[in-house]
Amino acid sequence: MSGPNTTRVLVVPTAEFEKLGYFQGFSPDAERYLSHLLTPAFADFRPRCEVEEDPSYKQIIPYVIFCCGNRIFRYTRGSSQGEARLHRLRSIGVGGHVDEADADGRATYAAYEIALKRELDEEVAIGAPGTLRLVGLINDDQTPVGRVHLGAVHIYELEAESVSSREDGLAEAGFVSFADLQNSPEELETWSQISLEALVALGKG
């Protein structure tokens, strides 16, 4: 059985990301970054145990946020979630690493899209129609976790509040109002704080 010590995950060189235009926080220009980085020229699969502490690479993470009107899906990260440094923090993003098994190890945009669908299928049950769209990219070099990851932020606009957890790692899950989240942002993991600010700026909530 594979785990964090044996899994090979999709990474891109941090230097190549920075050449495209360094930013801290949120950028709405995700398509430009990903279409350049997620090509065989730059993307590669490396052992997760090696890159978790190596800021010369960024692991690409799909980060999907479920919204229904002015309400948003939130959960608490449990111990079965892969990133131990985020356990017990609240999150509004569902997703995970792009594994080498996705798209038969091809380090491409297609592998990313397959991983996104796989992560959603593994982590949640979606019981309502909706529309998924890419809205931005998160880079956070102010935390140890952030320094080795890039988050591709997607909004999943649902017609009804019908999302439930398929695993223990998504505990205390349910929809809350944007106002409730804004009243206690310190409870959220950093990526969720950045995403919440971006969503408000985009007119959500």
| H or E element, residue 149 | strand 149-158
Q: What is the C-alpha to C-alpha distance for residues 141 and 181, in angstroms, rounded to an integer? A: 23
Residues 6+ apart with CB under 8 A from 163: 66, 73, 124, 125, 126, 127, 128, 173, 175
Domain boundaries, the chain: 8-201
Do 36 and 42 contact (CB within 8 A), yes or no?
A: yes
DSSP H helices, 57-170, are 109-123
Pick the CATH number of 8-201 from 3.30.420.130, 3.20.20.70, 3.90.79.10, 2.40.110.10: 3.90.79.10
Do 90 and 132 contact (CB within 8 A), yes or no?
A: no
Helices (H) and strands (E) in the chain, counts: 6, 11
Q: What is the C-alpha to C-alpha distance for residues 201 and 195, in angstroms, rounded to an integer? A: 10
Average pLDDT of adjacent 10-residue blocks, the chain of 205 residues: 69 98 97 96 95 97 96 82 58 94 89 94 96 97 94 97 90 92 89 93 76
Q: What is the C-alpha to C-alpha distance for residues 38 and 107, in angstroms, rounded to an integer? A: 7
Structure confidence at residue 88 (pLDDT): 66
Structure confidence at residue 1 (pLDDT): 35
Q: What is the C-alpha to C-alpha distance for residues 53 and 72, in angstroms, rounded to an integer? A: 32
Residue 191, token pair as written in the block:
């990526």
Q: What is the C-alpha to C-alpha distance for residues 37 and 12, in angstroms, rounded to an integer? A: 7
Structure confidence at residue 188 (pLDDT): 92
Structure confidence at residue 81 (pLDDT): 46
The pTM of the full predicted model, rounded to 2 decimals, is 0.91
Structure confidence at residue 2 (pLDDT): 45
Structure confidence at residue 168 (pLDDT): 80
